[in-house]
Amino acid sequence: MPSSLHVNPSPLFGKRDPDSRGYFGEFGGRFIPETLVAPVEALTAAYFEARRDPEFVAELEHLLATFVGRPTPLYEARNATAGTGVRLFLKREDLAHTGAHKINNAIGQALLARRMGKTRVVAETGAGQHGVATATACALLGLECIVYMGAQDMARQALNVFRMQMLGATVTSVDAGSQTLKDAINEAMRDWVANVATTSYVLGSVLGPHPYPLMVREFQSVIGAEARAQMLDAAGRLPDLVVACVGGGSNAMGIFDAFIGDPSVQLLGVEAGGRAIADGEHAARFAGGAPGVLHGTRSLLLQDTHGNVLPTHSVSAGLDYPSVGPEHAWLASIGRTRYDWIDDDAALDGFGWIARLEGILPALESSHAIAWVQRHVQTFKAGDVVLVNVSGRGDKDVDSIRARLGLAVTGTPV
C-alpha cells in the first residue's frame, strides 16, 4: 500500500474543520447537558481518529461501492431542457441503496459505532428515511437498532415503520409534544445518555452538537466528489450553478463541499416554502429565521419574538424542520452560498416535469431543487451548465401526491 494513504486516506476528510469548539463562524458549537459531555467527547475523539485510519476509510469505501452502489450516475436531462440551451445534469442519489443519500451517512456512523465497541444504536426519524437507512446499516453490521419516531409520524409513514421492523429494528413511538421529529430527537438523546456504555447515537443530518455537523458532511461529501469528477468528464468543465434542497442540509452540504473552493461555481440551497412564508406555514429558515439554539447547535431557527420554536409545514416531510445545519448559516453569512424557497404547489410541478419528460420520480424533497430550476430556466444563458442533486426517489411520496391531487385511478395521465 502506498505510504501516502497513511497521511491522507481520503480527500473527503479533514479538509475544512470548524474551530476546536465546533464553530463555523458564529454558528455551531455544543449546547448540551452535562450528562452528554463525556459521550460527545468520546465520539469526537473516535471520529477524528477513524477518519485518519486507512483501514476505516477503506472499509467505508468498500461498502459504499459494493453495498450502497456508488458511484451513483450523473445523468443529463436533455428532454426537460430542450430548446433552452441550458445543460441540466442530475446527480442520481435516488439510485443509492434504500433510495436516498441518507445511507452514505448511516453506514459511516454505524461503522464508527462498531469501531467504538458499541453493540446498540439509537436514531431519530421523521418520515422514516433516516430510520430505514440506519436499520439497514445495523442489519449489515450486526448492531441492535432502536429508532425513535413521533406517534403522528408513525401513523403517516406506516410503510417505513414496517420496513424498519423487517430489517430487525425496534421502532419506539414518541408521544411527547407534537409527536414528530423534534420530539423523536429528544427521546433518542435521552436513551443515549442512559445507555452510553453500549450505545451510539446515529444522527441523520448536519445538525446537533459538534462533531455531528462536520462528521455528517464528511460522510456525505462523497456525493460532491463524485459529481465534480463526473461533470468534468461529461461537460468538460465545472457547472455554473449547483442546486440542492435543504432540510437539515446534509445532501446539500454533501454536494456543495467539492465546489466550495471554486469561485466560478454558484451554490444554491432550496428550502420548503410550504403554503406561504407566514408563521407556521413553511420551513424556510433563511426567509424567516433568526439565530438561536435547537438540539445542541446554534444556527438559524424559526422562532417567535420570545424565542419559542415555531411549528413548520411542508408537503415534503424531509424538509419540515425549524432549524438548519450551522455550516449553511455560516456559508450564507460569508456570501459563499445562497438560499431561496419553493412552495408546495411549485414542488409538485417540478416533480411532474421530471417524471413526464425524463422518466424519473424524484422525492418531493428533491423536487424543490428541480422546481427551482424549472421556474428559472428562462433566466439562464444558452450554454449555462446546472447541476441538481436528486437526493432521493419519489416512490415513498406517491400516496401523498395522489391524495393531494385528489386522483382516482383512471388511467389518465396527471
- Which residues belong to the active site? 102, 124, 391
Nearest CA-CA partner of 324 in 282, 366, 262, 382: 282
Site for ligand PLP in 14-73 (CB under 6 A): none
CB of 106 to ligand PLP, least distance (A): 11
Residue number, 122 or 270, with CB nearest to ligand PLP? 270
- The β-bridge partners of 120 are 144, 199
Question: In sequence order, what are the residues at sequence separation of 6 or more whose Cβ sits closer than 8 angstroms to the Cβ of residue 71?
Answer: 226, 230
The span of 84-92, 167-175, 240-248, 340-348 binding ligand PLP (CB under 6 A) equals 240-248
The span of 117-125, 228-236, 246-254, 302-310 binding ligand PLP (CB under 6 A) equals 246-254
Residue number, 86 or 245, with CB nearest to ligand PLP? 245
CA distance readout (Å), 331 to 26, 82, 270: 11, 33, 14
Site map for ligand PLP, 296-325, x if CB under 6 A? ----------------------xx------
Residue number, 29 or 248, with CB nearest to ligand PLP? 248
Contact residue for ligand PLP among 44, 297, 374, 391 (CB under 6 A): 391
Contact residue for ligand PLP among 77, 88, 100, 371 (CB under 6 A): 100
Considering the rule CB under 6 A, would residue 366 count as an interface residue with ligand PLP?
yes
Site map for ligand PLP, 135-174, x if CB under 6 A? ----------------------------------------
Torsion sign, CA atoms 209, 214, 219, 223:
positive
- Is residue 213 reached through a cis peptide bond, with omega within 30 degrees of 0 on the bond before it? no
Considering the rule CB under 6 A, would residue 295 count as an interface residue with ligand PLP?
no
Site for ligand PLP in 248-277 (CB under 6 A): 248-252
Residue number, 58 or 287, with CB nearest to ligand PLP? 287
Residues in the chain: 414
Contact residue for ligand PLP among 102, 182, 210, 298 (CB under 6 A): 102
Contact residue for ligand PLP among 28, 71, 247, 350 (CB under 6 A): 247
Torsion sign, CA atoms 18, 224, 216, 318:
positive
For residues 75 and 380, give the distance between their C-alpha atoms in angstroms, rounded to a whole number. Answer: 20
Site for ligand PLP in 167-206 (CB under 6 A): 205
Residue number, 134 or 380, with CB nearest to ligand PLP? 134
User: Which residue's CB atom is positioned nearest to ligand PLP?
Assistant: 392
DSSP codes, 338-372: EEEEEEHHHHHHHHHHHHHHHS--B-HHHHHHHHH
Residue number, 74 or 245, with CB nearest to ligand PLP? 245
Considering the rule CB under 6 A, would residue 245 count as an interface residue with ligand PLP?
yes
CA distance readout (Å), 295 to 51, 212, 248: 25, 11, 12
What does the buried/exposed string (b/e) look like for 43-69 if buried means 16 or more CB atoms within 10 Å of the residue's CB? bbebbeebbbeeebbebbeebbeeebe
Contact residue for ligand PLP among 187, 327, 365, 397 (CB under 6 A): 365
Q: Tell me how many residues contact ligand PLP (CB under 6 A).
A: 19
Nearest CA-CA partner of 325 in 301, 346, 304: 301
Residue with cell 463541499: 257
Residue with cell 385511478: 409
SS3 call for 83: coil
CB of 165 to ligand PLP, least distance (A): 19
For residues 216 and 43, give the distance between their C-alpha atoms in angstroms, rounded to a whole number. Answer: 13
Considering the rule CB under 6 A, would residue 213 count as an interface residue with ligand PLP?
no
Residue number, 96 or 196, with CB nearest to ligand PLP? 96
SS3 call for 195: coil
**Interface with ligand PLP by CB under 6 A: which residues?**
100, 102, 129, 205, 245-252, 318-319, 363, 365-366, 391-392
